């Protein structure tokens, strides 16, 4: 089964607020939404849905965004107990991939504790145009409570407050992007550089659909090196239970900024 996607300014106007060097780029959070929709259409899709081994193979640059648009295709292929999902461009070149399996052993409930040693962020301009380059439609971070080498805590919002059109979301792309942004702010502190997410071990959708409102977002450190950081991200409701979780998020230094930002 395949799903065709056409991205252009009149159909996806919010992508104009996700530009790098003047050209819109599709965020990983939106690809996760497409993959979740594709998986949900599979007759053997497990509940809760878990996307595994999400990898960025190539950046999704929208060179035709303001003209005829850019076409992409989501391919699904069943292999035994697994569903392989790949996003390819108009020339058939793959850009993202993931796997869903029917062998979906439930993970133990995560306890998202406040990381130790939190301090207020070092600067007040969360969206500085450099480390976080996002325009209004992607400014999902409402507050950053604190950041430390062990993690970060903040509050993020989603589609409803940011005015994204549509009501059939399987996830909440701007909120998920906000969690990744908080991880980028954490990585900037621990390795001193602006980063981009390049892979995710698992994306767990405990409660499908958009967030009901602003939610607490936790970043938990796994490891950090000079050019690389890895963390987990959890979106936790007022009941203390996670709605969405991203585990094993790999962040690498952005090559366009030439390394350190401090």
- CA-wise closest residue to 184 among 238, 250, 103, 95: 250
**Average pLDDT of the residues in 188-206:** 95
Shortest CA distance to 185 belongs to which of 234, 222, 149?
A: 149
Percent of the chain whose pLDDT exceeds 90: 81
| Residue 47 CB burial class (10 angstroms; 0-12, 13-18, ≥19) | exposed
Which residues are paired to 235 by β-bridges? 217, 244
Topology of the domain comprising 2-101? Thiol Ester Dehydrase; Chain A (3.10.129)
Contact call for residues 43 and 113 (beta carbons, < 8 A)? no
pLDDT tier at 259, thresholds 50, 70, 90: very low
Q: What is the pLDDT of residue 260?
A: 42
When pLDDT is averaged across residues 190-197 and rounded to a whole number, the result is: 95
Region of residue 47 (phi > 0: left; psi between -120 and 50: alpha; otherwise: beta): beta
136-257 CATH choice from 3.40.1010.10, 3.40.640.10, 1.10.40.30, 3.10.129.120: 3.10.129.120
pTM for the whole thing?
A: 0.94
In the numeric block, the tokens 């998986």 are attached to 39
Given pLDDT bands bounded at 50, 70 and 90, which one contains residue 231?
Answer: very high
pLDDT at 36 over 80: yes
Q: Which of 61, 58, 71, 78 is nearest to 21 (CA)?
A: 61
Ranges in the chain annotated CATH 3.10.129.10: 2-101
The ranges of the chain annotated as CATH 3.10.129.120 are 136-257
Rounded to an integer, the average pLDDT of 16-38 is 96
Cα–Cα distance list, 58 to 104, 133, 199, 215 (Å): 28, 20, 11, 31
User: Of all residues in the chain, what percent carry a pLDDT higher than 70?
Assistant: 95
Contacts with 28 (C-beta within 8 Å, 6 or more apart), sequence order = 54, 56, 96, 177, 180, 197, 200
């Amino acid at each position: 089964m395949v799903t065709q996607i056409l991205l252009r300014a009149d159909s996806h106007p919010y992508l104009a607020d996700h530009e790098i060097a003047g050209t819109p780029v599709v965020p990983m959070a939106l690809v996760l939404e497409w993959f979740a929709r594709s998986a949900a259409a599979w007759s053997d899709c497990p509940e809760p849905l878990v996307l595994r081994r999400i990898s960025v193979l190539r950046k999704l640059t929208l060179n035709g965004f303001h003209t005829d648009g850019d076409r992409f295709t989501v391919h699904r292929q069943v292999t035994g107990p697994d569903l392989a999902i790949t996003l390819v461009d108009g020339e058939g070149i793959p850009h993202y991939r993931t796997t869903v399996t029917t062998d979906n052993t439930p993970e133990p409930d995560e306890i998202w504790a406040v990381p130790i040693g939190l301090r207020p962020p070092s600067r007040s301009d969360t969206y500085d145009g450099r480390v976080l380059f996002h325009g209004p439609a992607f400014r999902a971070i409402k507050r950053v409570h604190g950041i430390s080498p062990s993690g970060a805590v903040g509050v993020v919002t989603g589609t409803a407050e940011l005015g994204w059109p549509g009501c059939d979301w399987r996830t909440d792309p701007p909120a998920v992007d906000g969690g990744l942004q908080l991880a980028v702010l954490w990585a900037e502190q621990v390795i001193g550089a602006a980063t981009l997410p390049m892979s995710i071990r698992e994306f767990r959708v405990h409660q499908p659909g958009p967030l009901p409102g602003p939610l607490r977002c936790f970043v938990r450190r796994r490891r950090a090196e000079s050019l690389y950081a890895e963390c987990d991200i959890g979106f936790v409701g007022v009941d203390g239970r996670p709605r969405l979780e991203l585990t094993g998020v790999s962040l690498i230094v952005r090559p366009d900024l030439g390394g350190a930002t401090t």
